Amino acid sequence: MTMSLKLSVLLALLAPAAAHGQIYKCQPPGGSVEFTDINRGSYCKLMDLPGMTVPAPARRSGPSAPRAAQPVATPGEFPRVDSAEQKARDADRRGILEDELKTEQQKLAELRREFNGGEPERRGDERNYAKYQERVAALRDSISRSEKNVDALKREIANIR
């Protein structure tokens, strides 16, 4: 090994031991004040910051795999709901979601009727064909969004216990 390689390996091994979260205030002659974690020579002074600790970054071992979600314990003083109350809440929720579903299905039917299979009737203010095309595109987007809402509401209703 060459001398410079040995020195760089030695410095690499000793660098983590020297990094204890020290902060230096450096002010070169005629220069501005700089705060850093690197001692840059005789014009840098180690600052004494009581209670100041800078934790080292956490080390990762092995390939970064996603952590499994661990269940969070419920505190003892957390209010509990009895099963009858929960069933009543679920029934209310189901009723609200079914009302929303019915409203969304009516809206979807109206949009489809207005869309008329991709050829809605032109309005009087749509003398310009570009305006008509914009309205057709907006109707198509509204139908797509409404269909997604209907599917989401159906899934939500199916998930109720």
Residue 158 has what pLDDT? 92
CA dist., res. 108 & res. 156, Å (int): 18
Most confident of the ranges 10-19, 44-53, 120-129: 120-129
User: What is the tens place of the pLDDT at every residue in 68-99?
Assistant: 667 777 777 788 888 899 899 999 999 999 99
Domain range annotation of the chain = 83-159
- Could you tell me the pTM of the whole model? 0.49
Cβ-based neighbours of 148, under 8 Å, separated by 6 or more: none
- Helix (H, G, I), strand (E, B), or coil: what is residue 36? strand
pLDDT band for position 17 (50/70/90)?
A: very low
Residue 7 has what pLDDT? 45
Q: Are strands 24-26 and 34-36 parallel, antiparallel or unpaired?
A: antiparallel
As a dihedral over the C-alpha atoms of residue 101, residue 102, residue 108, residue 110, rounded to 10 degrees, the angle is -160
Residue 152 has what pLDDT? 95
Beta strands in the chain (DSSP E): 24-26, 34-36, 44-46
